[in-house]
Amino acid sequence: MTRPRLMIPGPIEFTDEVMAAMARPTPSHVDPAFIDIFGQALEDLRKVFLAGPDYQPFILAGSGTLAMDSAVANLVETGDRVMVVGTGYFSQRMADIVRRYGGEVTLLDAPPGETITPEQLRGALARDAYELVTITHVDTSTGVLTDVRGLTAVAKDAGALVIVDGVCAAAAEEMRQEDWGVDVYLTASQKAIGVPPGLGLLVISPMAKTRWLGRTHPVGSYYSDWGYWLPIMEAYEARKASYFATPAVNLVMALAVSLRQILDEGMENVFERHVRLSNAVKAGVAAMGLGQVPTDMAHAAHTLTCPRYPEGIDASFLKFVREEGAILAGGLHPAIKGEYFRIGHMGAVSRSDVMTALAAVEAGLRRAGYAVEPGVALAAAQAELA
C-alpha cells in the first residue's frame, strides 16, 4: 500500500536527493569536503533570503524555536522595549522569549484570522520609542500572512530594528531581506527550506550585528551567543576548519542540496509556484463549502491553508483523510483549536500533491457524514491551475 502523503505545515515531504544526502556516511565536521559543503550552504542561504554579502548567515543545530531564541538573546537586553506584532500562537511565543531575556513587551495583537496593517503599527509605535519590532511572516497556527515589507518600513521609520520569524514562510513566501530592510530573518529546516527537522537558520543585517556588538551585558544564553558562533560561520565560509559545538553534519549536507535545488528553480519561480498551488488548494476548499481561518484571502498564507470544519464535523475526520491518502494537521491556536484543520503545501510540493490532498479531504468528509459532491474540489483546483 502506498503511504499517505505528508501534507502538514512541517515537517514536509523532502526530495529524494535531500534524503540521499541524509543517508551518506557522516564525515568529520572538519573534513575539507564537509567544510566546503558548509561554506557553500552559508553562501546559498544568503542568496535564498535575497540578502547581500555583508549579511551574516548562521546555521545552528536546533529547531525554529532555537532560531527565535538566538535572535532575541543576542539583540534584547533588560529594559529594552519591544513591539511584537501578534497574528497567532507563534507571535505569542516570540513575546514569551522576549520577556525571558528582560525585554518589555507591547503586544499589538490581532484576533485569530486577522492581521496587523502598517497603519496600525504606525499608530502603536507613535505612542512610545521601541528598540525592536518582531513580526511573524506566516503564523502556522492561523495561516495569516503579514505584510512584512510594509510593516518593516514603518518600524524602520520609527528607528527600530526588525526581527522576522519566517519559519513557515522562508523559501516560499516572497521575501527580500536586504531590499525590505529586515534585520534578522529566521527559519527552520523542516519547512519550505526542505530538510528534515534539526536546523535553525538565521541571516542578520549589518545593523543587527552592530547592535549586538554594542551590548552592555553578556548574552544570557551560552549556546545561542553569536560571540561563539560568528567565528565558526566566518571560518566555514572562508573554507577553514573551526569548532565551538559539533554541527549536525548530515543535515548540513542535506541543506546544501536543498538550497541548491531552490536556487536552481529561481526565487521568483519559487514564490510564484507557491502562490499558484495555494490558490488551487483554497479554491478547492471553497468549492467544498468550507470557510477558512484568515478573514480575507489577501492576508492568507501561501504555505498552508486553514479550512474550518463544516457543521457536525470535527478533528476525528482527519483519520479518514489519512486513510484516503493524506496526513493533515489539526488546529493549533488555543482560542479556535477545535474549529479548523491545516493543509500544508510548501517546499517541493507539486500539483499532484495538492490534488491528492484535496481528493483525500473530499473523501474523508463524505465518510464523516458531510455531503460533498465527488470531484468538486478537484475541478475547482484544476480550473485555478489552468
Q: Do residues 216 and 342 share a domain?
A: no
Query: Does residue 2 have a pLDDT over 90?
Result: no
Cα–Cα distance for residue pair 358/351, rounded to 1 Å: 11
- Asked whether residue 157 falls in the same domain as residue 94, the answer is yes
The stretch 273-293 carries a mean pLDDT of 98
- 225 & 312 share domain: no
User: Within this chain, do residues 63 and 200 fall inside the same structural domain, yes or no?
Assistant: yes
- Which of 237, 265, 293 is at the close of a domain? 265
The parent domain of residue 325 ranges over 5-10+267-385
SS3 at position 304: strand
CATH of the domain at 318: 3.90.1150.10
Q: How confident is the model at residue 338 (pLDDT cuts 50, 70, 90)?
A: very high
pLDDT of residue 289: 98
E strands of the chain, at which residues? 5-6, 56-61, 81-86, 104-109, 132-136, 138-139, 144-145, 161-165, 184-188, 199-204, 304-305, 326-327, 329-330, 341-344
Dump pLDDT digits (tens) for 67-76.
999 999 999 9
Residues 42 and 164 in one domain: yes
Total domain count, the chain:
2
Decide the pairing of beta strands 138-139 and 81-86.
Answer: unpaired
CATH number of the domain residue 99 falls in: 3.40.640.10
Other CB atoms within a 10 A radius of the CB of residue 40 amount to: 17
Mean pLDDT of 145-150: 98
Model-wide pTM > 0.75: yes
114-133: average pLDDT = 97
Domain boundary among 265, 298, 316: 265
Same domain, 133 and 207: yes
Residues 239 and 280 in one domain: no
In single-letter form, the type of residue at position 106 comes to: T
Q: Is the pLDDT of residue 118 over 60?
A: yes
Do 191 and 46 lie in one domain? The reply is yes
- 203 and 288 within one domain: no
277 and 256 in a common domain: no
Question: What is the band of 15 on the pLDDT scale with cuts at 50, 70, 90?
Answer: very high
pLDDT over 60 at 1, yes or no: no
What pLDDT does residue 158 have? 98
Is the pLDDT confidence value at 66 over 60? Answer: yes
Mean pLDDT of 212-224: 97
Distance CA 384, CA 386 (A): 5
Mean pLDDT of 301-306: 98
Residues 298 and 249 occupy one common structural domain: no
Q: pLDDT per residue over 236-260, tens digit each?
A: 999 999 999 999 999 999 999 999 9
Last-in-domain residue among 223, 250, 265: 265
Check whether residue 235 and residue 306 sit in a common domain: no
* pLDDT score, position 139: 98
What's the mean pLDDT when you consider all of the chain?
97
